[in-house]
Amino acid sequence: MAKFIKGKNRLKDLIYIQENKPCSENAIDGMVRSMLEPLFESPEEKGVVLYRFNNNNKYSGLLRRLGYTAVDVYNFSEGSEDLKEDIWDTTEFLYVLTGRYGASFVYDFQTEDVEHFAGYYLLYNSVNLRESFEIIEENCTKDISAYKEQYKPDRRDNLLMNESIRKIVDLMSETTQEAMLADIEKDALTKSDDLAKRLEFINSKSRYVVHEIRNQLSICELYANIIEKHCELKDNVDCTNAVDCIKTAVKIASSALMDLKSLDNKDLQVYNVKEMVEKAVLLSKVYANNKSIEFVTKFDDKNSSIFADEAKFLAALVNIIKNAIEAIEDSGKIEVSTSIKDDFISIIVSNNGLKIPEETQQKIFTDGFTTKTSGSGIGLYVCRQSLEEQFARLELLKSDDNSTDFEILVSMV
């Protein structure tokens, strides 16, 4: 058992030992609620809750709801009769232990210099939950030792699960930080001489980000389903490709998010065109899941290279191939080919699906124009803008009864 050291705040030591990124106040509120919600969903389930909040009014609603559950509750907040010695100062915690799950969440705002951010310690379903329980137990006026045997903490370490949960907390905190930065930027914009122009820029960038994230996250979701379906098959090529696609899609989404924070978010490097095209085709194939489509790639020179921002270039190419897939109703063919034109590489995406009506061919790159009932009208517009930022050009070569051909023309290294 962890021994109680008089006057020593050992819970705060746990925060420093785990070495997590600072956690935002909003993320902390979310974690507190997420730990207690399962108790409200199954109010007849027995268990124990130990808590210390420096502002009990903040969670007064949650604490009142605990009174309607079967769990035993111990309060270690300042002045509580359950508290043997008030050694924990600004450190707060929530500990939940039931027959189904156990969780320990310790945090302290005084560990960080940034306002509204705290250092934290978080553990779910692990035998190591005993450590924080025993530290709290030693400073309790009542005997709560029986709970350890009645609701034994999980015997497994669950390292991967706990790492994943802490990554989610980090993401929640980063989202809060982004919102704070957006408020600062908004305040700065109101003082700008060219307010209308900057607001227009932000509006355009926001729409781009929403569009791109929706595309890439849909890829993540669909490929996750494929992994789930084939996870028991060893050395499965589909699973390997699916994992690679998820990682690439996340990278593209992250790059799109960065666009909100920078006026010039480009990372131009040398990439092999063949590898870039093959990666884009692999990413796009998931959209053809319910169709019979033949994908063909042709390369004049397999060693040709270009300067590009990989995430942005892939995002544009995937968007074009996705449109080609949507143009094919049930079955068809999509060909992606590359060729050398003087000092340029030509990438042509061709499909034999429905043609684009002549009256709309001149409008397809216009911001807001769409022929889809659920479309936003920014896909091809965004693609062209993104490629131009990489010194490339996107054009519709033709669309007739035989095929629809889009061309990306980019400088060759």
pLDDT tens-place string over residues 350-375:
999 999 998 888 888 887 666 554 44
Confidence of residue 377 (pLDDT cuts 50, 70, 90): very low
Query: What are 291's two structure tokens?
Result: 């169709």
- Residue 231's pLDDT is 64
13 or 217, higher pLDDT: 13
pLDDT tens-place string over residues 281-318 = 999 998 888 899 999 999 998 899 999 999 899 999 99
Q: What is the mean pLDDT of residues 57-82?
A: 93
Confidence of residue 217 (pLDDT cuts 50, 70, 90): low
Q: What is the DSSP string of 68-83?
A: TSEEEEEE-STT-TTB
Helical pair 310-327 and 379-389, crossing angle rounded to 10 deg: 150
Pairing of strands 117-124, 46-52: unpaired
Q: What is the DSSP string of 54-117?
A: S-GGGGHHHHHHHTTSEEEEEE-STT-TTBS----TT-EEEEEEESS-EEEEEEEGGG-SSTTE
Q: What is the mean pLDDT of residues 217-239?
A: 66
Q: What is the mean pLDDT of residues 30-39?
A: 90
Q: What is the mean pLDDT of residues 343-353?
A: 95
Tell me which amino acid residue 244 is.
D
pTM of the model: 0.49
pLDDT tens-place string over residues 244-286 = 788 788 778 777 766 665 556 678 899 999 999 999 999 999 8
Confidence of residue 133 (pLDDT cuts 50, 70, 90): very high
